[in-house]
């Protein structure tokens, strides 16, 4: 049974592809992979993933290593968007083709409302996935930017393995996993970790160490460094004494 022609399918795929490329460009910022694709992407978007990374680095010019980290973040994020683009494109083409075939079998034509309904259904699915990608990638980028900043700052201070902690941004709305990993049993004091103890990949529920990428897509907890001599009073960061070691205190090693 003959549905949409192959050139027609290509045209539909191109429309979907353009849509996702434009979104990826807006989200990721100026990346060569996309710039080469279209001459329309001439200016960099004001707010993008690259912007978040630089912001997390305290707005300083990234060095060669930080640039490389950013490049790999942008490439992997683009990979996720590209896979969503391919899937959505195939789904839209197949759904419209099926609609056309069914109509032809009945010796009828498809109307625009039927086509729009099919596209809207597929786009709704894509929208959910895109939001998930955007949330996960922005969280990861923000936290990796913070990590790079902490590493640089610690290096300047001669600290090889800095003590870090997560700041729960939404009290009362934080998930169980974040509270378990980021807070002590008192539910007020942030739990400290050595940077070397943290996982550098996606966190899996139930793991006993936090991830530097954040714990989940909609996570707003922020990574921060705890300077030597500093600790917590009622959950608030405060200077305790020059010899105070919060990590040892929390691990029961300061005897």
Partner 1 sequence: MRNQDWKLKYQDLKLKFHDAVDVAFRLGMEQGLQQAQVQQAQQQQADAQAAQQAAMGGQPGQPGEDPNAPPGQEQTDGSELDQHIGQLEGMLGQSQPGSPEQAGLQKSLNGIKAFRSTLKQAYELKKSEQAIKAIGKAMKSPFTLSKTATKNLTEHGKKGLSDQERIVEELMKSMSDEEAKAKDSIAKTLDYEQLLKG
- Which residues of this protein are in contact with partner 1, per CB under 8 A? 4-5, 8, 11-12, 14-16, 18-19, 22-23, 26-27, 47-49, 51-52, 55-56, 58-59, 92, 96, 100, 103, 108-112, 115-116, 119, 123, 127, 130-131, 134-135, 138-139, 142, 145-146, 167-172, 190, 220, 222, 224, 235-237
Whichever of 18 and 71 has its CB closer to partner 1, that residue is 18
Q: Residue 108: CB partners within 8 Å, gap ≥ 6?
A: none
And the tokens for 107? 């010796």
Query: Residue holding tokens 């300047």?
Result: 156
User: What's the CA gap between 145 and 154, in Å, rounded?
Assistant: 14
How far separated are the first and last CA of the chain, in Å rounded? 80
The CB-of-80 to partner 1 minimum distance in angstroms stands at 13
SS3 223: strand
The CB-of-171 to partner 1 minimum distance in angstroms stands at 4
Whichever of 47 and 65 has its CB closer to partner 1, that residue is 47
User: What's the CA gap between 24 and 41, in Å, rounded?
Assistant: 11
Rg (CA), the chain: 24
| Max Cα-Cα span within the chain | 86
Whichever of 89 and 198 has its CB closer to partner 1, that residue is 89
The CB-of-88 to partner 1 minimum distance in angstroms stands at 10
What is residue 191's DSSP assignment? P
The CB-of-56 to partner 1 minimum distance in angstroms stands at 5
**Bridge partners of residue 211, in order along the sequence:** 199
Whichever of 13 and 197 has its CB closer to partner 1, that residue is 13
Whichever of 131 and 194 has its CB closer to partner 1, that residue is 131
Residue 194, H or E segment: strand 192-194
The CB-of-134 to partner 1 minimum distance in angstroms stands at 5
Whichever of 140 and 203 has its CB closer to partner 1, that residue is 140
And the tokens for 182? 């980021």
The CB-of-95 to partner 1 minimum distance in angstroms stands at 11
């Amino acid at each position: 049974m003959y549905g949409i022609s192959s050139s027609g399918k290509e045209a539909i795929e191109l429309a979907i592809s353009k849509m996702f490329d434009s979104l990826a460009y807006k989200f990721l910022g100026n990346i060569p992979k996309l710039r080469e694709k279209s001459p329309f992407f001439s200016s960099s978007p004001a707010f993008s993933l690259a912007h978040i990374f630089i912001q997390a680095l305290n707005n300083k010019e990234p060095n060669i290593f930080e640039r490389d980290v950013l490049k790999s973040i942008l490439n992997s994020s683009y990979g996720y968007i590209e896979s969503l683009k391919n899937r959505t494109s195939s789904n839209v083409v197949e759904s419209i083709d099926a609609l056309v075939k069914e109509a032809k079998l009945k010796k009828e034509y498809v109307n625009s409302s039927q086509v729009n309904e099919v596209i809207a259904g597929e786009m709704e699915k894509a929208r959910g996935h895109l939001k998930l990608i955007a949330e996960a990638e922005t969280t990861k980028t923000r936290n990796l930017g913070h990590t790079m900043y902490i590493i640089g700052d610690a290096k300047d201070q001669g600290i090889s393995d800095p003590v870090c902690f997560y700041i729960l941004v939404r009290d009362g709305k934080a998930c169980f996993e974040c509270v378990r990993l980021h807070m002590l049993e008192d539910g007020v004091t942030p739990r400290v970790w050595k940077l070397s103890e943290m996982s550098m990949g996606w966190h899996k529920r139930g793991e006993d160490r936090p991830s530097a990428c954040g714990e989940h897509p909609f996570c707003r907890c922020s990574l921060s460094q705890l300077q030597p001599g500093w600790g917590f009073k009622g959950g608030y960061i405060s200077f305790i004494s020059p010899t105070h070691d919060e990590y040892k205190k929390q691990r029961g090693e300061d005897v």
